[in-house]
Structure 1
Amino acid sequence: MSRAIAPSRNAHTAPSPWIIGAALVPAALIALPLIYVAIRAGQTGLIGIWEEIFRERTYTLLRNTLMLAVGVTVAASAVGIAVAWCVERSDLPGRRVWRVAAGLPLAVPAFVSSYAWSSIDVMFQSMAGAILVLSLSSYPLVYLPVAAALRSTDPAFEDVSRSLGDGPWRTFTRALLPQLSPALGSGALLVLTHMFAEFGALALLRVQTFTTAIFESYELQFNSATAALQSVVLMALCIPAAYAEMRVRGNKRVARVGRGSARNVITVHLGRTTFPVLGGFLLLGVLSLGVPLSTLAYWLFHGSSAGLGYAEILPALMDTILFSLSGAIVTSVLAIPLVLLAVRHRGRLSAVVERLPYIIHGLPGVVIALALVFLSIRLVPIIYQSTLLLLCAYAILFLPLAQSSLRASVELVSPQIEHIARSLGRRPFPVFLTVVLPNIAPGIGAALALMMLEIVRELTATLMLAPTGVSTLATEVWSYTYDAEYAAAAPFAALLVLISIAPVWFFTRRMLRYGEVL
């Protein structure tokens, strides 16, 4: 049995000045991409905007972007929900192993999978190849929340459906699917926003979308005006999807009482379809994990470019650890006041500053980086191509993930504890440091781990904003692969996968064990 946590009686108390001030810092940071796009569009003028938006190339980019996003979302959703149902509701052999293994493709970054597939044959460097590769990389984003939801749904609805004479398919569509719709919608929207923001994988698979076009306009053609106007069109696609994702996240439960339904779920016997279903799982494992990992293993020891990048492995690894750790700390610190304001002091201000990061979340790193480059050169030139500017980009990109990790921990800390400390004469900020902070430490730890995993794999903003002479594992993979030096890229890609395996394994087991959703 599950229920939502009731709002605290103190949810509408006036926030402390330090919370308001601290929350406005990330809010102002998040607003920078919107300010940038508005400034550049205004400088171009109505005629320039009209010519750019309604030219043939824009239509081509729009068609490609929508085709890719919709194709991957539909394919990933179909695979994700099918895998989730098989491991949770059928007698599939070895389903305990499959339950965790099905989430492991998340350990292979999408651009690493694209590197592997594109190095096999140029036939995968196409729209069809991109949909295949990105669907295989993205389906766990649907599988994990749907599997978690299946473990906590009430089987009584299915029993009633069967008692009315409905077959397995009608029982699934009428009784079970409506219960899974929030988890399915959340996962599908997450895939959709990821596809709007994807760059590295598409650049390697030679598929042109708005993200690749924006990057080329800025990096290759030095045309920031065109890049800004293309960003306007992309924002028109991203913001509704990101807002819908935020609404779905906001409607999900945040706590559970117990470990799910007390009633036993009826396991469906696969019968004659056991071996075909098992074969499908094996094929999925080969395509999503076997092909990328075996291709990596091959290129580690073969190819004319083997050994070219060995001298750069250690510096790239150290820079990756440095940026991921510092970026995770900065992002988590900025997220804490946002979450405290949203949970403890609900109102218009808290609603705006909490939701703004989710709306920007759908924008790709290339737009964020472009905004920071433009504004830093004109307002604060000294921070251009500095570590500080890159950390700002990481904070803008990953604040929503830090908020999600921290919110549950903050909601579990009773505000009465703070009131008792305040009644003893202590000021708000010392109360936060000595009372609240120790109690939300587990959430901070989870946020740091998740942020580090995401920043290690981040590519676009790092390519555009990293200080001169600095590289990461992700940027080295992209650079070598873009020049078709697959063997030289292999060690960097292998290290990325190794770094990602442990966190992905941990988060997969945690989500499925506690019935959490993304």
Structure 2
Amino acid sequence: MTIAERLRAAGERIATDEGAAIDTGLTLLAAAVAAALVLPLGWLLVDVLSLGGRAVDFALAPVTLRVLARSVALVAVVTAASVLVGAPLAVLTAQTTVPFRRLWTIVAALPLAVPSYLGAFAVVSAHSALDPFGIPFPRISGFAGAAAVLTLYTYPYVFLTTRASLLSLDASLVEAARTLNCSRWEAFRRVTLPQIAPAVAAGALLVALYTLSDFGTPNIMRVEVFTQFIYARYNAFMRDYAALLSLQLFAVTAVILALESRIGADDAGAYASSGHRGALRIDLGRWRYLAPLLPIAVGALALVLPVGIYGLWLVQRGPGYAAGSMAFSWSYGWHSLYVSLLAAGASVLVALPIALRSATSNSRLAALADRAPYVGYAAPGIVLAIALVSFSLDVLPALYKTVPLLVFAYVVRFVPQAIGSIRTSTLQVDQRLVEAARTLGRSRFEAFRSVTLPLIIPGVATGAALVFLTSMKELPATLLLRPLRFDTLVTYIWRVKEAGLYGQAAIPAFVLIVVSALSMAVILAQERDRNAETESRP
């Protein structure tokens, strides 16, 4: 071997060793970041241990079990109702000949842009607001009211996941079943349903987790569920009891996740397909003119009603609508913008090492670092807030009721949105481009900066946008962790709701709806891009 060959071989070994060291360092960094996100949730155990033998008595107290059973019942009812509303709407807009399908798709998806507590706020006020105009509207409250409102604003989870699955379904499979003398219903049951069941289950999981963790809607509807039960104990200075209840709620969340994983992983009866022949179209005949009544009815209740009520609040005067001592200030909007932007930026910084390593490594540690942050995402906001309150008071008192702690809560709660978006973009990067940059003498960092980073910027931007938008709407964590005299849009809405000054909630409610609608624009734009890509394939 010549001297030049030996030098080249030595250089390759050094580069390989450096690459291995960088990979190991990135994996350890991702694991450390993931651990830091999950660690505060474990502090609930410290508070619970302080209860000693009383923990069992509190956990099995009749009032605790009664509220827990009511919460589980609400989850079951809302999840089932959301499937019954969302799945038919998905079939209607994805597979039928209904006119203006694109319009009804937007109408059916837009309720997701309205925070459910704003919808509940409008519904409970609708009777008194519309009565002077001679428009009858029933008084809605209690368990049935909470279930109805939550269904209206969570069914789009099922609608969007099911519709995406239907659009990717191979129509030739259904056509084959019809040629074998299967009826339309039998073909749907034996072919289509097994294919879309994981998507329906994924949407149902999101509905169940949202319903279980929702704080505002049940409170406004005056039905006590576990989130209110926890909040009441926390406000009564029973922090250890609130921590115990938080662990119970988290245990229910874990059960829901386990049930969904069994349904989603069960692909028995599913059929493999070797190609895609375009979306199936079901001819509705004359019924296609009546079919839009379903999305119209849902849109009227979920969109037109709250927007109309907020519009009345803007112009209406009289008792209950005066500003009082709670006049709206745009500083509340600035506070929301400030902490949400900080959360979006911090989430991207946290998500980058985790997403990059999980997308390029098969190591178990990298996979664990990728999945661990989803614990915070699955944790209800009230549970996360109680955990961070306990952690800050016991370990870092200087952080209690500060902006950094609030931003950290948003990161723990929503960083999986950024991780998923960045990881997906990284997986789509052609590694041959990176290898070409390395052969031209670029270091790994230079190859990342000049090749990988420009290609994943859309995913980074999408992840940051989703974290920003969801942080703007987060209610329970903001209520418990915000600094003193630091109101945001959601906390101001909550204050005026408690005082009965409905009219003062109109402006911040409109702002939140507009900002939330941007998230739906992102989702629908991504769906349009995917459809265009699919249709352009040979």
- What is the TM-score of this pair, normalised by structure 2? 0.86
Of 64, 76, 81, the match for 1:58: 64
Of 219, 229, 237, the match for 1:222: 237
| CA distance 1:474–1:306, change in 2 (3 Å) | same
Structure 1 residues 208-247: aligned runs within 5 Å: 208-218=224-234, 220-242=235-257
- Distance in 2, Cα, partners of 1:368 & 1:113: 24
Note if 1:94 corresponds to 2:68.
no
Q: 1:242–1:360: 8 Å Cα contact kept in structure 2?
A: no
Q: In the alignment, which residue of structure 2 is the partner of 1:269? A: 283
Note if 1:327 corresponds to 2:340.
no
Note if 1:26 corresponds to 2:60.
no
Note if 1:83 corresponds to 2:89.
yes
| Shift in Å, 1:272 | 4.4
- Distance in 2, Cα, partners of 1:482 & 1:359: 32
- Distance in 2, Cα, partners of 1:247 & 1:388: 38
- Distance in 2, Cα, partners of 1:412 & 1:261: 21
Q: In the alignment, which residue of structure 2 is the partner of 1:488? A: 504
User: What is the identity, as a one-letter code, of the residue corresponding to 1:227?
Assistant: A
For 1:7-53, what per-residue CA distance to the aligned partner results, in whole angstroms no more than 9, with x for missing partners?
xxxxx9776354234313431232234421221222212x2121011
| Shift in Å, 1:69 | 0.8
Q: In the alignment, which residue of structure 1 is the partner of 2:311? A: 297
**Equivalent residue of 2:68, what SS?**
helix
| CA distance 1:423–1:173, change in 2 (3 Å) | same
- Distance in 1, Cα, partners of 2:319 & 2:181: 64
Q: In the alignment, which residue of structure 1 is the partner of 2:43? A: 36
**Equivalent residue of 1:337, what SS?**
helix
Q: 1:15–1:345: 8 Å Cα contact kept in structure 2?
A: no
- Distance in 1, Cα, partners of 2:327 & 2:444: 51
- Distance in 2, Cα, partners of 1:250 & 1:22: 31
For 1:129-165, what per-residue CA distance to the aligned partner results, in whole angstroms no more than 9, with x for missing partners?
1110010101111111211111111011111221122
| CA distance 1:231–1:101, change in 2 (3 Å) | same
Q: 2:37–2:376: 8 Å Cα contact kept in structure 1?
A: yes
**Equivalent residue of 1:385, what SS?**
coil
User: What is the identity, as a one-letter code, of the residue corresponding to 1:270?
Assistant: L
- Distance in 2, Cα, partners of 1:261 & 1:502: 34
User: What is the identity, as a one-letter code, of the residue corresponding to 1:137?
Assistant: Y
Q: 1:130–1:205: 8 Å Cα contact kept in structure 2?
A: yes
Of 219, 227, 232, the match for 1:203: 219
User: What is the identity, as a one-letter code, of the residue corresponding to 1:39?
Assistant: V
Structure 1 residues 381-460: aligned runs within 5 Å: 381-418=397-434, 428-429=444-445, 431-460=447-476
- Distance in 1, Cα, partners of 2:385 & 2:297: 38
Q: 2:171–2:276: 8 Å Cα contact kept in structure 1?
A: no
- Distance in 1, Cα, partners of 2:449 & 2:262: 31
- Distance in 2, Cα, partners of 1:385 & 1:429: 39
For 1:360-382, what per-residue CA distance to the aligned partner results, in whole angstroms no more than 9, with x for missing partners?
32211111111111111221111
- Distance in 2, Cα, partners of 1:464 & 1:77: 33
Q: In the alignment, which residue of structure 2 is the partner of 1:110? A: 116
Q: In the alignment, which residue of structure 1 is the partner of 2:368? A: 352
| Shift in Å, 1:274 | 3.2
Of 278, 281, 301, the match for 1:287: 301
- Distance in 1, Cα, partners of 2:263 & 2:345: 27
- Distance in 2, Cα, partners of 1:146 & 1:512: 15
Structure 1 residues 99-178: aligned runs within 5 Å: 99-121=105-127, 123-178=139-194
| Shift in Å, 1:287 | 1.1
For 1:312-332, what per-residue CA distance to the aligned partner results, in whole angstroms no more than 9, with x for missing partners?
331011111111111111112
| Shift in Å, 1:261 | 6.0
RMSD: 2.6
| Shift in Å, 1:267 | 2.3
**Equivalent residue of 1:376, what SS?**
helix
User: What is the identity, as a one-letter code, of the residue corresponding to 1:68?
Assistant: L
| Shift in Å, 1:116 | 0.7
- Distance in 1, Cα, partners of 2:531 & 2:166: 8
Q: 1:22–1:334: 8 Å Cα contact kept in structure 2?
A: no
**Equivalent residue of 1:361, what SS?**
helix
- Distance in 2, Cα, partners of 1:195 & 1:494: 23
Q: In the alignment, which residue of structure 2 is the partner of 1:8? A: none
| Shift in Å, 1:401 | 1.2
**Equivalent residue of 2:292, what SS?**
helix
- Distance in 1, Cα, partners of 2:263 & 2:445: 33
Q: In the alignment, which residue of structure 2 is the partner of 1:3? A: none
Q: 2:31–2:368: 8 Å Cα contact kept in structure 1?
A: no
| CA distance 1:206–1:43, change in 2 (3 Å) | same
- Distance in 1, Cα, partners of 2:322 & 2:425: 46
| CA distance 1:63–1:442, change in 2 (3 Å) | same
| CA distance 1:204–1:32, change in 2 (3 Å) | farther
Q: Which moved more, 1:268-277 or 1:133-142?
A: 268-277
| Shift in Å, 1:206 | 1.6
| CA distance 1:306–1:208, change in 2 (3 Å) | same
| CA distance 1:16–1:243, change in 2 (3 Å) | farther
- Distance in 1, Cα, partners of 2:99 & 2:446: 55
| CA distance 1:289–1:17, change in 2 (3 Å) | same
- Distance in 1, Cα, partners of 2:494 & 2:389: 21
**Equivalent residue of 2:487, what SS?**
coil
**Equivalent residue of 1:496, what SS?**
helix
**Equivalent residue of 1:139, what SS?**
helix
User: What is the identity, as a one-letter code, of the residue corresponding to 1:76?
Assistant: S
Q: 1:402–1:451: 8 Å Cα contact kept in structure 2?
A: yes
User: What is the identity, as a one-letter code, of the residue corresponding to 1:57?
Assistant: V
**Equivalent residue of 1:277, what SS?**
coil
| CA distance 1:29–1:118, change in 2 (3 Å) | farther
Structure 1 unaligned regions, length at least 5: 1-11, 253-259
For 1:215-265, what per-residue CA distance to the aligned partner results, in whole angstroms no more than 9, with x for missing partners?
1111x211111101101111111123346667989999xxxxxxx965244
| Shift in Å, 1:415 | 4.1
Q: 1:106–1:137: 8 Å Cα contact kept in structure 2?
A: yes
Q: 2:327–2:504: 8 Å Cα contact kept in structure 1?
A: no
| Shift in Å, 1:413 | 2.1
For 1:262-307, what per-residue CA distance to the aligned partner results, in whole angstroms no more than 9, with x for missing partners?
5244422223433442222221111111111111112222253435
**Count of paired positions:** 496
Structure exhibiting the larger radius of gyration computed from Cα positions: 2
